[in-house]
Structure 1
């Protein structure tokens, strides 16, 4: 395969351009270019071509042309391509993790975890022959058989975020493809390299041209996907304002849509919690990937001042050992934020919390990383005394910031969570089984952990929040992924016996 970093244009010395993949061929729509930064250094690492509406329409046309033959390809043959794809992902893991690090800033060990989670979704998609078997009932009536089939939608699309340039696309198109659909993917223009490289690996595994197409772009490309009548369904992961726009626009244009939005994930720390375990868990869940996870734990709700004081003391001590730095050093715990603008936004939230009365216990604003002074870094930050009326509490920070809210009772803690507009993920630290069961039964959140800080479902379950964290009726991947990318068709069949002719029946037919 050709490198995704081919150089058909050189607008600046040593600058490479990432283009598109349409009908199995690399394409460059160079009408508009956007810089892609290396967040670790703050330097421009490459550029990405932003697709015009015409380029997106070409990708949709390629997917539409490929659909009839791919729809009629037996599921077992589709699955065999996915088996080969999985092997290629594993064989190229080091290269993929390097691409993630260069364009996103994620440390190698974190990038490897992202890739593994994506591979697990490919493994689940390999079960297509089992997942698509359908249902059959013989003799639902005299001589009448009935069955259900799960048929593909047609051309479907995915719009994916910068924070997981590998895992989130792999939530989408492997399942869509094994279900018989063709796909147009619009990855984040901030880190397009790893996504396009992996799409090339899928073609190396034997995927026919046009079945998967990748177009890089911005709102122009997104709107083209949302309004084109040939696109039957759209899956999205990103912020809530954009998710709401995606959902309303897609459904207004007659499309099935699932749009996963933002989060404000709370961890309740009960007085009986194993505090050492809780602190270790919170360190990784709050600061891993620089907090740029929709499942990051960004709020610790301490039940009682005694546990709050102990939590603050242990957390502030443990955070002294946190290492923030470049992706290339595997000894670092987490890396930079994606852009300078996002770094400034995160720092602004810390500033606002302080100005509104909270106390910054560990201050990670604008750290110095020797040798990488121009990188987009924010260090681990701990804030105490946060209240529900503060801007930093109400909004998603999406950075390495953990806020502590103090409450007196578990009921008060749960009310705090249930009142928030987001309902993506949550967890509770406790030794009390009764409290844990009450929590999991009554908290208004889609994904719940009991002493598990990041309750991200495995590939054979489904991922999705509640409230304004998910627009649509079906969650991502797992069993809901099969349902999202297929239409159920129910067939009822009867072959009359030779020589038997019945008269017209005007009453509603029943099993009687």
Structure 2
């Protein structure tokens, strides 16, 4: 601002934080680290990355490639480890900010401890993404979208659709009829087996046990298991972490498979009697990462986008991950912090504002004298 007062100018600048840190999950070992360290370094910071101990090789390769491309040594460092390494980063006074993507309990822990230690923190947690299917939707399009969004990457994505909400029993019956043959045709196996493989194993034996345990709870609590993948076994990989696809119908909001993030190839169908009941299901759930609606009606789509209390919304798009010039982030218990990943929010997160007020009193321009020694 020029002339904010008599002879006073005022301006603001953004400056780098210094050293920033990131703690990233196993399921996107390249994309999510780059969501963090790329804008952080572009803002002038150094960055310490703590990748998942389950698959650290890709982040290590990224750091090597950055140095090959000319990044000075030490600007991007990778620290491997578990909770001990995480706590060391949260307690280190040199690290000014922490970014995290993972489960909600860990996100809440990191956010609380990081803030208590005076750091700027953004933490992204779990999800339970609902896809509402209206009676006027293109049912083939909706079924294809659900299969890709629900079972791709074995369901181990925070933007996976894990709950289908058809509006009306007729819609639900038509949707299930379309889903069953598509799900039964899914090819499960190692990705090295060829392009026809639809998804591979889950990350650990513990993850497999947790998924199958939640499937059993769904059966025991009264949901209808329409496609049963519990007996799936892959020849030659009997001890592998492969999980067959599962489809539930008649799921209710009090069931564990509805309330908890399964993070596996399991799709739950919750039948809604009306659009209002369907949107309320998504709004009442504790997670608010992503959601979608499939409809041909523009008024319904606009109403859904305006009212829903969820951070990323798809209209006839099942996984509404924004491009990087927007931002990525959920609401409710899917996020802790007030800024999103990448896009404009990344540059707000990795810099701080400094505002300068300056006054230069009038002086030499009035009454200045210049004396030159005359030449002989």
Aligned to 1:109: none
SS at match of 1:461: coil
1:277 to 141, 146, 150: 141
Aligned to 2:214: 349
Aligned: 1:374 with 2:239 = yes
Aligned: 1:248 with 2:112 = yes
Aligned to 1:155: 19
Aligned: 1:191 with 2:58 = no
Aligned: 1:288 with 2:152 = yes
* Aligned-residue offset at 1:366: 4.3
* Aligned-residue offset at 1:349: 0.8
* Aligned-residue offset at 1:398: 0.3
Aligned to 2:288: 423
SS at match of 2:4: strand
SS at match of 1:354: helix
Aligned: 1:398 with 2:268 = no
Aligned: 1:215 with 2:116 = no
* Aligned-residue offset at 1:209: 1.3
SS at match of 2:10: strand
How many aligned residue pairs are there? 365
* Aligned-residue offset at 1:330: 2.3
Q: 2: distance between equivalents of 1:141 and 1:216? A: 53
SS at match of 1:476: coil
Q: 1: distance between equivalents of 2:196 and 2:13? A: 51
2:330 to 435, 443, 465: 465
Q: 2: distance between equivalents of 1:429 and 1:456? A: 16
Aligned: 1:229 with 2:93 = yes
Aligned to 2:171: 307
* Aligned-residue offset at 1:148: 1.5
SS at match of 1:140: coil
SS at match of 2:48: strand
1:260 to 105, 117, 124: 124
Q: 1: distance between equivalents of 2:88 and 2:31? A: 24
- Which ranges in structure 1 are unaligned for 5 or more consecutive residues? 1-136, 502-512
* Aligned-residue offset at 1:142: 3.5
Q: 1: distance between equivalents of 2:32 and 2:97? A: 16
The structure with more radius of gyration:
2
Aligned: 1:387 with 2:252 = yes
Matches within 5 A, 1:79-98: none
Q: 1: distance between equivalents of 2:201 and 2:4? A: 61
Matches within 5 A, 1:108-147: 137-147=1-11
Aligned to 2:64: 200
Q: 2: distance between equivalents of 1:379 and 1:139? A: 69
Aligned: 1:323 with 2:195 = no
Aligned to 1:441: 306
Q: 1: distance between equivalents of 2:140 and 2:9? A: 60
1:407 to 272, 291, 305: 272
CA offsets, 1:116-153, max 9 Å, x none? xxxxxxxxxxxxxxxxxxxxx33333433222111001
Q: 2: distance between equivalents of 1:493 and 1:282? A: 59
SS at match of 2:270: strand
More helix by share: 1
Q: 2: distance between equivalents of 1:243 and 1:406? A: 31
Cα RMSD over matched residues?
1.3
Contact 1:366-1:377 within 8 A present in 2 as well:
no
| TM norm structure 1 | 0.70
Aligned to 1:494: 359
Aligned to 1:72: none
Contact 1:291-1:398 within 8 A present in 2 as well:
yes
| TM norm structure 2 | 0.95
